Homo-oligomer: A and B are copies of this chain.
Amino acid sequence: MAGPEIERLVQLLAKLPGLGPRSARRAALTLIKRREQLLDPLAGALAEAAAKVKTCHICGNYDSVDPCTICTDERRDTGIICVVDEVSGLWAMERSGLFRGLYHVLGGVLSPLDGIGPDDLAVGPLVTRAGAPGVREVILALSATVDGQTTAHYLADRLAPLGVTVSGLAQGVPVGGELDYLDEGTIGAALRARREIPR
């Protein structure tokens, strides 16, 4: 019904996370209708991202410079490395605004079923970085999934000989979370990690 250019645009948009075939059609129509405000700027932004965005060779973050602005920021604590599975985890940590150390993006988690072993992830470079002088702690901020926690245990074993502190994010009730809507696993974890409330 539409020209081949529109069909191809819809097919590519449908591959983005969060867009299905129907919303990809709506997105394509919105782009074509708002050509000057949206389509042309987006085409330019994609071309610029393709040309300028690099992967930081130290931590794996995406930035327009390599090493990235986090790795070269002198105000950050180079003694703590926070390990995340993907760049999205790094962004989530940065949004919290609480972590002032450096990062290490693994590029995924161990998954025997999908054939993803330690050699497919940035495990070797992490061990090298964690063994450098001045590194005191490695925080494993991996997803609280089976694969994520398996990966955390594996990394803790690999990092143990280095003598650095290896920690993980606390598990418990999310802020604003109602007990009624939480799964049993989360409630159990929060109960096991209960803390005395200071008087």
Contacts and interface: CB of A to CB of B under 8 A. Distances in A.
Interface of A: 1-6, 8-9, 12-13, 15-19, 23, 25-33, 35, 38-43, 45-50, 52-53, 61-65, 69-70, 86-88, 90-91, 94-95
B8 A45 contact: yes
Given A63-B3, A64-B4, A94-B1, A50 B46 contact: no
B41 A12 contact: yes
Contacts of A69: 3
Contacts of A33: 86-87
Contact of A2 (B3, B40, B63): B63
A46 to B, nearest CB: 4
A89 to B, nearest CB: 10
A35 B62 CA distance: 12
Mostly helix, strand, loop or mixed at chain A's interface? helix
Contacts of A62: 2-3, 6, 29, 32
Contacts of A3: 52-53, 62-65, 69
Given A8-B48, A29-B91, 12 more contacts: A3-B69, A5-B64, A13-B16, A13-B42, A16-B38, A17-B26, A19-B27, A26-B88, A29-B86, A32-B62, A42-B46, A43-B50
A137 to B, nearest CB: 21
